[in-house]
Amino acid sequence: MSDDEIREIRPDSDPDEYEKVCYVCRRPESKAGRMIQIQGDFCICNDCMQKTFDQMSNMGFNLTDMMNNGGMAFNPNPSQNQTPSSDGTDAKTADGTTEGNGAEASGQDGASQKDNQGAPRMGFPNISMINLADLQGMMGMAQPRRVKKKKEKKDEKPAIELKDIPAPHVIKAKLDDYVIGQEYAKKIMSVAVYNHYKRVATEHMDDIEIGKSNMLMIGPTGCGKTYLVQTLARLLNVPLAITDATSLTEAGYIGDDIESVVSKLLAAADNDVEKAETGIIFIDEIDKIAKKRNTNQRDVSGESVQQGMLKLLEGAEVEVPVGASSKNAMVPMVTVNTKKILFICGGAFPDLEDIIKERLNKNASVGFQADLKDKYDKEENLLQQVTTEDVRQYGMIPEFIGRLPILFSLEALTEDMLSQILTEPKNALLKQYEKLLALDEVKLIFTEDAVRAIAKKAKERKVGARALRAIIEEFMLDIMYEIPKDDDIGIVTITADYIEKKGGPIITMRQSAGIAAQA
């Protein structure tokens, strides 16, 4: 629980509006149970108080004498039946009587320390009794705290109503404004998301229960998998958690627990459980948890992670910490039901093309009509022909694939698509740089040949749309460095020669630009 959610006690605050919080584990009374009130208006839950007593008992403190007499008795070896006195002359027998006439053990004030039966007991050095009033001083400047009670909802209304769900063609039309190409993928995602939220809205309508429409998208790097999901969540105005499967490990090993993906969604929903249960979780790099081949070690980040994710994908109640990424943190736990959460898994699946080629070449590999082995080597969109059998052979277990019923792949980006990405979307890259220079009152112009040259360079790097910004930053560095120096610069024109390092940009001064505008 974050400090923002816990407030200090104020004199003018309503006592019924806040609930008590344990000073040790910081759990509210609704989670930890009834609190024990101590001096200074501090509260301790029963679990923390019991742990304190257990530790004191293990250290040899006599809790019975401490509670009866207010003193702190200490027994260094409680298992012995006979305990010698301070000077070695007196001895305490098993029946509680004291033998001998030795001096009695004295406490801090020199007074005789005896229990109710008259038997002396050993005093803890420099401590005669526990004074709970001193606890406030020991805690320094700490203040008692309370957490605000959650208001009970009187009218239970569904989080998403059927009339508020946009139709598939409306979702796709909005995706077209931001994502270039990928028509088939956008169509599949629009229908799947529409059906999923219809399922959430009509869950208790009748006895017919609609299954989840989790998705598995496959595509080369830089083709827009993550960007599609980000745009989709922004258009639907639902919580979105983007995580990757690279750091996920089996429970008990170094790395993130499988439930951490749900914890990130809860944080994205401002710790609102009901809002989080209608969100979207996108797990990227899902191919990294495929079964490892030819390994003699325990596969703690492969098949075991897939098996652990089965309950999340299908729908289960998972306990996750609030405001922390680890279960071991001293924070309250909440229960999140993943039945209404839409899971979208994505990955590049390198070397999956080789499995597809092998399957396609088996159909006619012998005889005069046999296909050439290099027939599919230059096929960029070979992933379009992927099947669940190919994904299973890659290393994903059948149970995991079965919980992702919608399987589709994205197209590899061509030069034409890269050129469109630079200019057409609402937040196109070239528009972003034009805005940056407009803040310096300078107009930036890209020629059509320059756009094609940038797309050609990005295609050669084979990292998809990620190469576009790297290329633009490379040739825009000198321009953005020099423009703030000279206030007379009015227009900067980027040409293909400048992109190909055969020349420089065309600089037009403000006076010349004004004359050209008047003409």
Residue-wise pLDDT tens digits, 299-311: 777 888 888 889 8
pLDDT of residue 378: 67
Q: Poorest-confidence range of 34-38, 97-101, 376-380, 474-478? A: 97-101
Q: Report how far residue 430's alpha carbon sits from residue 423's, in angstroms, rounded to the nearest whole number.
A: 6
Residue 212: what pLDDT? 84
Of the pLDDT bands very low, low, confident and very high (cuts 50, 70, 90), residue 204 is: low
Rounded alpha-carbon distances, angstroms, from residue 357 to 68, 168, 365, 372, 412: 83, 34, 11, 11, 17
Identity of the residue numbered 479: I
Higher pLDDT, 297 or 410: 410
Burial of 273 (C-beta count, 10 Å sphere; 0-12/13-18/19+): middle
Q: Which residue has the higher pLDDT, 24 or 433?
A: 433
Q: State how far Cα 270 lies from the chain centre.
A: 12
Helix or strand or coil: residue 436?
helix
- Segment 241-282, tens digit of pLDDT: 888 888 888 777 777 888 888 988 988 888 888 888 888 899
Given a cut of 90, whether residue 433 has pLDDT beyond it is: yes
The overall average pLDDT reported for the chain is 76
Query: What domains appear along the chain, each with residue ranges and CATH number?
Result: 6-148 (no CATH), 162-347 (3.40.50.300), 352-394 (no CATH), 415-518 (1.10.8.60)
> Residue 422 has which token pair?
């630079």
Task: Quote the tokens at residue 267.
Answer: 């944080």
Q: How confident is the model at residue 360 (pLDDT cuts 50, 70, 90)?
A: confident
Of 102, 103, 96, 100, the C-alpha closest to 118 is 96
**Beta-carbon contacts of residue 321 (< 8 Å; ≥ 6 apart):** 263, 327, 329, 331, 332, 333
Query: What integer pLDDT is reported at residue 296 of this predicted model?
Result: 64
Contact (Cβ atoms closer than 8 angstroms) between residue 171 and residue 232:
yes
- pLDDT confidence bin for 324, thresholds 50/70/90: low
Can you read off the two tokens belonging to residue 355? 């499995």
Q: Which helix (H) or strand (E) holds 242?
A: strand 240-244
Q: What is the mean pLDDT of residues 126-149?
A: 47
Question: Distance between CA 380 and CA 181 in Å, rounded?
Answer: 15
pLDDT the model gives residue 25? 82
Query: In the prediction, which pLDDT does 82 show?
Result: 45
Whole-angstrom Cα distance, residue 268 to residue 308? Answer: 23
Q: What is the mean pLDDT of residues 209-221?
A: 87
Q: How buried is 413 (Cβ within 10 angstroms: 0-12 exposed, 13-18 middle, 19+ buried)?
A: buried
Spatial separation of the C-alpha atoms in residues 80 and 169, rounded to whole Å: 83
pLDDT digits (tens, 9 = 90+) for 43-100: 888 888 888 888 777 776 665 565 555 544 445 454 444 444 444 444 444 444 444 4
The sign of the torsion formed by the CA atoms of 76, 80, 86, 92 equals positive
Amino acid letter, residue 155:
D
Q: What percent of the chain has pLDDT over 70?
A: 68
Neighbours of 145 (CB within 10 A): 20
Q: pLDDT at residue 427 above 70? A: yes
What tokens does 517 get?
Answer: 């505008």
Mean pLDDT of the 399-420 span:
91
Cα 227–Cα 228–Cα 231 angle in degrees, nearest 5: 80
Give the ranges where 363-465 is alpha helix by DSSP (H): 388-394, 398-402, 415-423, 429-438, 448-461
The three-class DSSP label of residue 240 is strand
Q: Of residues 255 and 231, which shows the higher confidence score? A: 231
SS3 assignment for 315-354: CCEEEEECCCCCCCCCCCEEEEEHHHCEEEEEECCCCHHH
283 and 245 Cβ atoms separated by less than 8 Å: yes
- What pLDDT is recorded for position 146? 52
| Per-residue tokens: 157 | 């209304």
pLDDT range class, residue 123, cuts 50, 70, 90: very low
Look at the chain and count its residues. Answer: 519
Per-residue pLDDT at 129: 45
Q: How many CB atoms lie within 10 A of CB 368?
A: 5
Give me the residue label for tokens 């249960």: 277
Rounded distance between C-alpha atoms, residue 46 and residue 416, angstroms: 67
SS (H, E, C) 131-172: CHHHHHHHCCCCCCEEEECCCCCCCCCCCCCHHHCCCHHHHH
For residues 175-185, give the mean pLDDT: 89
pLDDT digits (tens, 9 = 90+) for 9-42: 444 445 556 778 887 887 888 777 888 877 667 7
CA-CA distance, 429 to 333, in Å (whole number)? 43
